[in-house]
Structure formats: structure tokens, C-alpha cells
Amino acid sequence: MDQYGQNPFAPGMKSSMFVPDQLIAGPLQLITDTVTVTGGDYKRGTVLGMISASGKYTACVKTAADGSEKPCAILVDDVQAATHGDQSGGVYLMGEFNQNRITLDASWTLADMKTALRPLSLFLKDSIQAPVS
């Protein structure tokens, strides 16, 4: 006869809920790439420009003069390039994005950024949300 002692397993249930950040705002195919990010700690949705001399990406500042003044990508995930030095990070190169969830440098207006990103197939729009019931 087999005998069993105290069982540490306690029956139960866990539940998790995924709450999307609503950065993606439409069905247009997303195109991504991995790049080197430098110069700061950036949040998902930050608009980036590429520094011409190094090919590294940093926050797009309209008044910069190193190539990064031209927006060219939107950051996929948070990157801590100031804290930990240059980091690899994913960027969106094409897609539709919620203009209320992207991060712009203060040197840009939303209208100017929408115009600058449009030729790159990076579209900013106001996300339509279902009413809360």
C-alpha cells in the first residue's frame, strides 16, 4: 500500500488580464527591424531619428543637425540607452500608430510629425475606441 504525506499543492486558480497600450492603431502590416539606440532612456512609442555619422538611432529632435532631426522609426519597446550605454532595440518602420500614445520631442508639433512620417508609411491617427459601458 502506498502512503502519501502532506501535499504542498493547494488547488486554486490565478487570473491575469492583458491591457494593451493602444500604440498600434490600425490593420496596416507592421514592419520592424533591430537597430542600435543611443543617447537616452526611451519609452515604447518614441519617435526616433538616425544619426548620419554613426547609423545609431536617438530621439528625433527637430533642431538637431546630425541627421536625427529626420524622423524615421518608432520604438517598439522601452530601451535604457543612457543607463546601460548603447542598446539594441526594435523599431517600427511601417504601420498605423495612435497619435495619443507616441512620444515626441517638444521641438515637434503633432501636425508636423504626421506630415514628416507619412512618406515613410508611418501613419499617425487618432485611435477610435469603443465607448465604456
Give pLDDT tens digits along the chain (133 positions). Answer: 555 566 566 566 677 776 678 899 989 999 999 999 999 999 999 999 999 999 999 999 999 999 999 999 999 999 999 988 999 999 999 999 999 999 999 999 999 999 999 999 999 998 765 455 5
The full set of domains in the chain, from first to last, is 31-123 (2.40.300.10)
Contacts of 102 (CB under 8 A, 6+ apart): 23, 45, 46, 47, 74, 113, 124
